[in-house]
Structure 1
């Protein structure tokens, strides 16, 4: 007997991310329960994000002629601006998440053997482990932003990130410090949760493709029961169609935010690398930059990795079909088989903004671009 939604509910694969975003006030709800707490959470988070953005924008204007200070401010400003854009995209398309949840309750995604379910569970478990590592990196980065004023004498009474305020910061240092740290933690909290939610949904799609491939292998085309064979094959065709629709729903919801993330990553990785060569290696600042660099690398690499995984698993569906005894099939279903195989020739791909394919090739392109800009920035700095 195949597994049912009671055995393994696909909606529960991202329960943690859903709860975290509900607490922040951004995940869509089906009821009006705790409405005011939900609105309050979203309002506070948006206020912190916008206030932080305006503070850094003014600082950029003030330090526009100082390359070193400009780089330091831009490093976090670009990340924060991208986060606001990603959050805006998420809020605009958040109703799609309810549709995605409904899709994951469709019977076509269930009813397979428990051995096949293990393939999906392995994908989900691997993504959970990656998400845990990413969260640890984010927590470490936030901690490193908070520690220098207390552990580094040279940074005494300095703010975690550059920012302009319409008053003497020294007079209100601790409230200002708390404001910035809460803002940084809020950005890391929400941004990382949106990323992990996206990775988890893509992993579910990839796991479903793996199950589909196993189901295609298991069909006995030489069976005398032609009705059963035809029904099994048509079920695979329907399964494939619904997985593709599921992938496109993910793309429609997150694509624009991912595109902005890729664009920002090129610049942020460049600036972070530049700052790492001008600060002492044995310092809190270097530890912060290294942790932040790893966060950015993990963030962009995982989008490319999981997008590439969907592309490769969907691209090998035809190979799995040919591993069955398809040559024993009846002529009545061969026409449907040919049409299905033609549809699977083109791999299913996820794109960023409808332009950039999520793949390892894209990742190498991002790193190559970052290094090019890094080389230019280093040359400009050495000429000063």
Structure 2
């Protein structure tokens, strides 16, 4: 929109996007009509890309929050089983007091924060169960939660992988031509600022797509890490067998892709920047 408002700042009857028309576009009312149409088109294109990117950010942030919850549930699966089995609140409070929050790993959660269970009136709102069955139920609940997250991630990846391919190609070409135009043309100060702003926004969008893809991949790998953080060696043999079955699924990373060709992660960020610089060098050699 700043690019579109340039004619108003420089006080010239020029269109935001220079086009050829079979008539004099600078005539009265004709220029205003064309200017309004171009501004409207630019605004709609910006909304399409902005909304698509915004939904991408929101959905991945929500999924990462679900992975945080799953990570916390798996790490504390034995404590959940004790709560559900009807262990006395005094014993559970003693375990809470024994936890040293200062020794907790920093940044182990992406958007969440771990808090203690509220043990007030615990016996009245829970049905007591056998500890072994309660452990199985807690673990099965975590497995179902993981299956639901993976299913949502699969649907998100199927929906967004064509969009990510288009965005990757668009940002590669856009970065190349923006740098090429900035280097090889002498424009006004205002247009130079617009080019710099456009370049900065493209780099930010590229970073957002690749960074969130990397975060989703790292969050999905935390599931296996959480399995080893619980006291798995205290579990019964059949429950440990279930953990061994679940472990190969947990270590499989969830990843956003660019039409199944490559993952949207930090490696993709470096590849796009390298390709854009290569195209820019090629254009420079041809001029």
Q: Secondary structure at the match of 1:166?
A: coil
Q: What is the correspondence of 1:85-96 to structure 2 with a 5 Å cutoff?
A: none
How far off is 1:294 after superposition?
1.6
1:94 — aligned with what?
A: none
Q: What's the TM-score, normalizing by structure 1?
A: 0.59
**Structure 1, residues 195-236: CA drift from partner, whole Å, max 9, x if none?**
111111111111111111111111118957011111000000
Q: Secondary structure at the match of 1:144?
A: coil
Mapped to 2, the partners of 1:299 and 1:357 lie a distance apart of 16
Q: What is the correspondence of 1:267-306 to structure 2 with a 5 Å cutoff?
A: 267-280=173-186, 283-306=189-212
1:204 — aligned with what?
A: 62
Q: What's the TM-score, normalizing by structure 2?
A: 0.78
Larger radius of gyration: 2
1:263 pairs, out of 169, 179, 184, with: 169
1:218 pairs, out of 76, 98, 117, with: 76
Q: What is the correspondence of 1:159-178 to structure 2 with a 5 Å cutoff?
A: 159-171=15-27, 172-178=30-36
1:9 — aligned with what?
A: none
More helix by share: 1
**Residue 185 in 1 paired to residue 43 in 2?**
yes
Mapped to 2, the partners of 1:334 and 1:217 lie a distance apart of 15
1:371 pairs, out of 264, 271, 277, with: 277
Q: What is the correspondence of 1:344-363 to structure 2 with a 5 Å cutoff?
A: 344-363=250-269
Mapped to 2, the partners of 1:216 and 1:336 lie a distance apart of 13
2:2 — aligned with what?
A: 143
1:341 — aligned with what?
A: 247
Q: Secondary structure at the match of 1:354?
A: coil
Unmatched 5+ stretches in structure 2: 83-129
1:243 — aligned with what?
A: 149
RMSD value, Cα: 1.7
How far off is 1:282 after superposition?
6.3
Mapped to 2, the partners of 1:152 and 1:164 lie a distance apart of 21
Contact 1:279 1:286 in 2 (8 A): no
**May I ask how many residue pairs the two structures share in their alignment?**
237
1:380 — aligned with what?
A: 286
How far off is 1:319 after superposition?
1.3
Mapped to 1, the partners of 2:185 and 2:218 lie a distance apart of 41
Mapped to 2, the partners of 1:314 and 1:150 lie a distance apart of 49
Q: Secondary structure at the match of 2:78?
A: coil
How far off is 1:280 after superposition?
4.5
